[in-house]
Amino acid sequence: MKVTYFPGCTLKNKAKQLDIYGHKCAKALGVELEEIEKWQCCGGAFTTSSDEIATKLSSVRALKEAESKNQPLVSLCSACHNVLKQTNHAIQTNETFRARVNNYMADGEYNGGAKVMHYLELLRDVIGYDAVKEKVVNALNGKKVACYYGCLLLRPSKVMQMDDPENPQIMENLVRALGGEPILFPYKNECCGAYVSFENKDYTAVKSGKICNNATLNGADIILTACPLCKYNLEKCGSDIPVVYFTELLAEAFGIKE
Amino acid sequence: MQRIGVFVCWCGSNIAATVDVEAVSQALAKEPGVVHSANYQYMCSQAGQDLIRAAIKEHKLTGIVVCSCSPRMHEMTFRKTAESAGINPYMVEIANIREQCSWIHKDILTGTEKAIVLGRTAIAKVNLNAPLTAGESPVTKRALVIGGGIAGIQTALDIADAGFEVDIVEKNPTIGGKMAQLDKTFPTLDCAACILTPKMVDVAQHEKIRIFSYSEVAAVKGFVGNFDVTIKKKARYVREDVCTGCGLCTEKCPVKKVPNEFNLGMDTRRAIYIPFAQAVPKVATIDADYCNMLKNGKCGVCSKVCTAKAIDYEQKDTLIEEKYGAIVVATGFNPISMEKFDEYAYSQSKDVVTSLEFERIMNAAGPTQGKLVRPSDGKHPHTLVFVQCVGSRCANCAEKGKEYCSKICCMYTAKHAMLTRDKYPDTDVYVFYIDVRTPGKNFDEFYRRAAEEYGVHYVKGMVGKVMPEGDKLMVRASDLIANKQINIAADMVILAAAIEPDKSARSIATMLTASMDTNDFFTEAHPKLRPVESPTAGIFLSGACQGPKDIPETVAQAGAAAAKVIGLLAKDKLKGNPCVASSNELMCNGCSSCERVCPYGAISYVDKEFRGPNRTVLVRRVAQVNPAVCQGCGACTVACPSGAMDLKGFATKQIMAEVDAICK
């Protein structure tokens, strides 16, 4: 099976492990991530500039390419996924937005026909956790994992529709399939401080510090994330609990981690 | 040829605003068989009915078509009108031009065109109608009540007081239901046990009432007035007629660590137990999942200590067959499971409890003898946070909670908050709510007393999460009026879990062929005008099985259901439905297809003699329908390969004529 893949800028620099192991694990599961040839930045945060059209156009082009190939558009980065999904939703539901976007689309209109899917959803809904389980060679042997969602994967929940925003289970169930033990972790959907780290590192350190402390308090060995910005903030807060991408953990369990 | 009268109703503006009623009556006047066509503002009114009666006399009508609302509303009305003017009631057909036409169309041209087609269809059918006469069936003068909570108890008492026999089937070892677990009842704060247990005793002592406790309904056959019910009496390994309820066995049993379901698992009971002191029947029951004697034959203590010799390890489940004229469903409710609500830390902390658990903690007969202490460390809590609507009014989380309002939570939370503040003035009590809904006699006064006199902090907003930290529960919530986030270090959190119908309701509904809504609440025959009857004849609804209800409402509805049952059982005979299947024996080839699909067991086969060629006699096996049992569902007419089976009043020929009229 082939899917259209949108990596996003960070996955080619700071978050290479997210990208590399994403590819390898998909291959192990019989899925090929077909990277869009000329992808551009997703546009960054959707909500801070929801009335700005220009920054959404690269997302629209990616969506259009996936639609033309009749494949789901898969991404790994929480932020990219959030922008792609929200842009697609705006095109589907907001007539003015759609018209304004299509003014820029020289080679044909886009009307929201693509299906946007996060890699985690691909694992859960298309491949299935049973199939994931079959590929496990190094079971995690009860490793205690704090599944950290942050905000972008889950909210706005009516648009993202990935999981229950108050008590998500998609990563927990993945960890269970890999033989790990997801811990109960009330800070799993708290904000890490996000882009405030550009301006006020102390503030993000407090926000992220609480998350790391709570994970440690509840007995976690590692924190699992899908978001490069969350990982950055959590690692800079002064706590020493390891923060890893879910694709790294997947690769570890599949025995393909280098 | 029939002489048909057509009567088009305006239904005020309900129909007339979207359908040109004059045009409809003129167009239908030209249809074959129609000799009279009129329209009137309210055909169901006395004046409208008089109009029909007069027309029947004047035009010597033999068939009537009324273009009006759904036949569910007024078919009976117009049948009676026709009958009073000397026409067989089954010569009346309704064309539904309201629910299926005027209400769903906006454009008068479309609406009118469709109304004409619907009228024409009914006329085509009446042209082929034949007079039908309903048969009669006797009524078994005994009622079955499924469920022995306050709803079932009240219904049973009311029916029995009217002089009819009643059986209660209760799946637990005792009757009493959820109300037996409650501490005080709002808004008067009388103790639940004090008002419930006398009723339980009344049930036990009533000569007309039998209690089948620890029993379930296994199968239901038959129809209104004549239900055949199989009741499975589960083995309790104690002879009910011998046990005195002394309770010695429950003190001596060596298996001590069985979670006590009556206290919601907050303490333990023995493997042989009596759920609570006032249980009815007060008889011990052995829990086969835990009893050593039943599991591996090593023990027998209860048998040794029982002076009444009531213990019987060899007891088996038994099936009892009974006949009933009416069945009342009173299967009640349960709080939903909290397993999908990890954000409130229910599984993480013992100090996060549901409201029903809190009810047991506050109850003098509960696990803490009514002392408010934290389940984790037995310490007195100082800050308590109540969270309302946990799983209720979940518009966007149907997979997790319920869309509906559970109705009782605002009031019991006000009660809990008030009682806590009353008994322990050193506590700080917060209640988080979406809305406070307190309609009901003396309800709002009660809630205001909690907030104003007892100083309960009501905060509009929901709790986002509960985070156990040390021996505190950090509650993060929003205060929507102050527009800020608030954090409270609480000692206990109490969750007002949504309520849902008991799990047994679905299988019971299937057995009874009674309908349910998407939430598994039983549906009533009419939401306003027939609230205690199921659309299935002879099935009645009592209590929370029909929708969330508090005790006053449940008791009122239980009495209403009883009144309906009494009305039914008071009759000696019931008029049946003449629209039943019948088999044309000359065409029947005896294949048994109809018998296999009949859900009511109304079809049997007989060997019958037929005249053959040359004065010979042939014996053939043919189908016969018992008209008293047939419900007229029509499944057999579809299954019959030779076309021998037909439904009176809905003959294939009539249906085809209707289809032709639509397609004309």
CB–CB of B396 and A186 under 8 A?
Answer: no
B4-126 maps to CATH 3.30.70: no
- Its ipTM equals 0.84
Gap from A157 CA to chain B (nearest CA, Å): 9
Q: What six digits make up the tokens of B304?
A: 């040794």
Average pLDDT rounded to a whole number, residues B349-362: 97
- Please judge whether B396 and A158 are an interchain contact, meaning their C-beta atoms are less than 8 angstroms apart: yes
Q: What is the 3-state secondary structure (H, E, C) of B479-508?
A: ECCCCEEEEEEECEEEEEECEEECCHHHHH
Asked if A157 lies within 8 A of B396 by C-beta distance, the reply is yes
B400: contact with A, CB 8 A cutoff: yes
Instruction: Determine the topology of domain B581-648 in CATH.
Output: Alpha-Beta Plaits (3.30.70)
**Mean pLDDT in consecutive groups of 10 residues from the start of chain A, 258 residues:** 94 93 96 93 75 87 94 95 94 94 91 96 96 95 95 92 92 96 93 90 94 95 96 94 96 93
Q: Which residues of A touch B485 (CB under 8 A)?
A: none
Across the interface, which of A157, A158, A167 has its CB nearest the CB of B343? A167
**Fold designation for B337-500:** FAD/NAD(P)-binding domain (3.50.50)
Given a cut of 80, whether residue B235 has pLDDT beyond it is: yes
Nearest CA in chain B to A216: B469
- Cβ <8 Å between B400 and A167: yes
Q: Is the pTM of this model over 0.90?
A: no
C-beta atoms of B467 and A166 within 8 A:
no
- What are the tens digits of pLDDT across the range B75-114? 999 999 999 999 999 999 999 999 999 999 999 999 999 9
Residue B649, φ and ψ in degrees, nearest 5: 85, -20
- Cβ distance A214 to B467 less than 8 Å, yes or no, reads yes
Tell which wins on pLDDT, A198 or B472.
B472
Q: What is the rounded distance in angstroms from the CA atom of residue B339 to the CA atom of residue A10?
A: 37
Q: Are B164 and B141 in contact (CB under 8 A)?
A: yes
Phi, psi angle pair for B430, to nearest 5°: -115, 140
What part of B 456-475 touches A (C-beta under 8 Å)? 464-469
Give yes or no for B346 touching A (CB within 8 A).
no
Let me know if the fold of B142-228+317-332+504-569 is the same as that of B337-500: yes
Q: Hey, what domains does chain A have and what are their CATH numbers?
A: 2-120 (1.20.1050.140), 136-254 (3.40.50.1860)
Average pLDDT value for residue range B401-417: 97
**Exposure on the CB side of residue B237, measured as CA atoms within 13 A:** 22
Nearest to B275 by CA among B190, B171, B352: B171
Q: Which residues of B touch A166 (CB under 8 A)?
A: 341, 343, 464-465
Residue B343 sits at the chain A interface (C-beta within 8 Å) = yes
User: What are the start-end ranges of the E strands in A197-237?
Assistant: 222-225
The residue extents of the domains of chain B are: 4-126, 142-228+317-332+504-569, 248-305, 337-500, 581-648
Structure-token pair, residue B499 = 């309520």
Across the interface, which of B348, B396, B400 has its CB nearest the CB of A184?
B348
Chain B residues within an 8 Å CB radius of A164 = 340, 397, 399-400
- pLDDT, tens digit, for every residue of A84-95? 999 999 999 999
B142-228+317-332+504-569 under CATH 1.10.10.10, yes or no: no
Pairing of strands B581-583, B645-647: antiparallel
Which chain A residues touch B342 with a CB distance below 8 Å?
167, 184
Q: A with B: how many residue pairs have Cβ under 8 Å apart?
A: 29
3-state secondary structure of B533: strand
pLDDT in tens, B322-341: 999 999 999 999 999 999 89
